[in-house]
Amino acid sequence: MNAKDEELRRLEALVSQYDQRQALRGELVFGAINDDGRLDVATPFFEDADYEALKASGLRDALIGLLDDMMDERSAHGAEQAHDGILRLGSGKVVLEWLPEGASRDAADARRDDWDLIPWLIERLGLVQYEAIEWKKAQAAEKHEGDTSQWKREIWLSPDKNRAIKTALAEEGQRLGFQVLPAGSRGEWLYDLVWRRLDANRNLVGIPLAVEIEMSDNRLWGIRYDFNKLLQAQADHKLMVFQVQTQEEVEAVFERLKESIDVYPHGSPCRYLLCGWSTQQNAFHFEERSAQPAPVQN
């Protein structure tokens, strides 16, 4: 949730008093831990020199004090989002985004260099699988007077798979304070779904997650065509979701994609999650793979 205009004016007025505002670039993730709803934790994500300048000038403490006041004011007025947020600075600009209740700790973790999104992706896709099977059982029960034994014959259409996966990933990306595309009126950007990290002046400073989903073409070359887009993505985490019939076919695709990962000259460390849906088993299968930058040739 974007900040109110009045909140932004107060922040801009404060920042404008400090000479180094043009040089500062980073984020301050803040939130309440205790029941009183006041600002308890503020986690900085700045270059070391920038953060030292932020502290030495007194701007950090002044910002924390103002954000604490805003949290108290929003709580008093019953605002839906009042206890967690992200303050962004960059090019002399200020952006404040309020996050859902309790999201600040996860949002801070998501900005650390050692963050691993893969366990959450596996858990969330497992929930998508569970919800799909429950839907199939409900469809079967409706057709067969409450009998769910024929649920495997119900078809989970590819567009519905795409929609369920994208919805789950979009909701989490927005909760963590990333720009998610596609979302609302904003269409796709290079990949089927992406989380983008922007600074206060809307400069792109990171891609935490890039996703390709290929459910309509179960041929290996079609899957690899989409996967090759992910290979060149400068993203911290890369998720490839595809569909084939059997578990053996899933594993065969895994092996081919892992080979592609291993031979590609990556420019930065990243984590891959390969996710194959077996239509025969009505189940996702997963394979993880990490990549490191290619050695520099002398």
What order do you get walking across the sheet with 283-291 strand by strand?
179-181, 193-198, 204-214, 237-244, 270-278, 283-291
Half-sphere exposure (CA, 13 Å, Cβ side) for 113?
5
Query: Which pLDDT value is given to residue 298?
Result: 63
Query: Which pLDDT value is given to residue 78?
Result: 86
Assigned token pair, 247: 């578990």
Query: Which pLDDT value is given to residue 3?
Result: 78
Assigned token pair, 233: 């993505």
Expressed in angstroms, the distance from the first to the final Cα of the chain is 49
Q: How many CB atoms lie within 10 A of CB 261?
A: 19
Query: Which pLDDT value is given to residue 48?
Result: 85
Query: ∠ CA(175), CA(288), CA(43), 5° rounding?
Result: 35
> Could you check whether the bond before residue 100 is cis, i.e. omega within 30 degrees of 0?
no
Q: Mean pLDDT, consecutive 10-residue segments, the chain of 298 residues? A: 87 90 90 84 91 90 95 89 93 94 95 96 97 94 91 91 94 96 79 95 95 91 94 96 97 98 95 97 97 79
Assigned token pair, 191: 């990949």
Packed helices 59-76 and 48-56: angle between N→C axes, nearest 10 degrees: 80
- DSSP, residue by residue, 91-132: TTEEEEEE--TT-HHHHHHTTSTT---HHHHHHHHHHHHHHH
Burial of 18 (0-12, 13-18, 19+ CB in 10 A): middle
**Alpha-carbon gap, residue 106 to 177, rounded angstroms:** 10
Query: Which pLDDT value is given to residue 4?
Result: 85
**Alpha-carbon gap, residue 235 to 271, rounded angstroms:** 9
211 CA to centre of own chain: 10
Residue written as token pair 């992200």: 86
